Amino acid sequence: MSQGQANPSFPLSTSGKTIGMLVDEYGLCDEGSYFIATNPTPGTAIATTTSVVDDATGATTHAQQKPVLLIQNQNTVASGMNIQLRYLKMFITQVPTSATGWRYAMRLDPLSTKLTTAGTIITPQNPNGNSTTLSRAYINFGAITTTDSTASPQQRLVANGMVAQAIPVANDEWFFNFGATFASIDSSVTSANVKRCSFPVPPIIIPPGWFFTLEMWGASNAAAPSWEFELGYSERPQGQ
């Protein structure tokens, strides 16, 4: 059971309860292992870093050192509790400028000194009003500085793609669907109109002690984009 605790919703009886590994969102929420993280003030976006222009290494204008989102699993290795990413929704208010396109990359990293400058610290919430279980995820959003792959040869690139082949516009909304097996067809990648787009990305598991980072950049970008966001994830024992 989640967090290694008994679930009061299923008291002991003469019968047993069997649950599949791939439970749905309500199953996760019902057992108290589903969490939501969002910016602290609705309607107030969080600014990221100015002039992030590529995803190379070794400079503060490179997305590997200036990610938009960072998550660390602060569960102990002995606990075996993994963070399973479910979805990420982003809503842009201040747009990048001069960029000829906009891209993203996602990475996992076991380096314990990954984070060097924190952004806005986000406090996750449990959406199950009957549950008092707290998340062990340390979440940062905004103007973050980290190490890059030159400092961590074990860093893994686990997702990579194009958000748009033009500069994003204010009120664009992006939905990253972890574990999806289909591609979005909800807008043209070159449209100058406001868009609501979904992107299939792999299932991603953050083991105890590891970091996850989301990087975003655009060639010739000369502004600090700002976003509101909402992240859904679960914390469950490995293999359960």
Secondary structure in 3-state letters for 92-125: EEECCCCCCCEEEEEEEECCCCCEEECCEEECCE
pLDDT(21) > 80: no
SS3 state of residue 139: strand
Rounded average pLDDT over 15-40: 81
Which pair of structure tokens corresponds to residue 133? 């279980």
Dist. CA 186–CA 195, nearest whole Å = 8
**What pLDDT does residue 1 have?**
47
Average pLDDT over residues 128-138: 96
pLDDT band, residue 187 (cuts 50/70/90): low
The three-point CA angle 19-22-27 to 5° equals: 60
Q: 66-102: string of b/e by CB count within 10 Å (b at 16+)?
A: bbbbbbbbebeeeeebbbbbbbbbbbbbebbeebebb
Query: Has residue 2 got a pLDDT over 60?
Result: no
Condensed to tens digits (0 to 9), the pLDDT of residues 38-93 reads 999 999 999 998 889 899 998 888 999 999 999 999 999 999 999 999 999 999 99
- pLDDT score for 229: 97
Tally of domains within the chain: 1
| 1-5, 139-143, 226-230, range with the lowest pLDDT | 1-5
Structural domain harbouring 123? 2-237
190-193 CB contacts, 8 Å cutoff, 24+ apart: 190/164, 190/165, 190/166, 191/164, 191/166, 192/166, 193/169
- What's the whole-number average pLDDT of the chain? 88
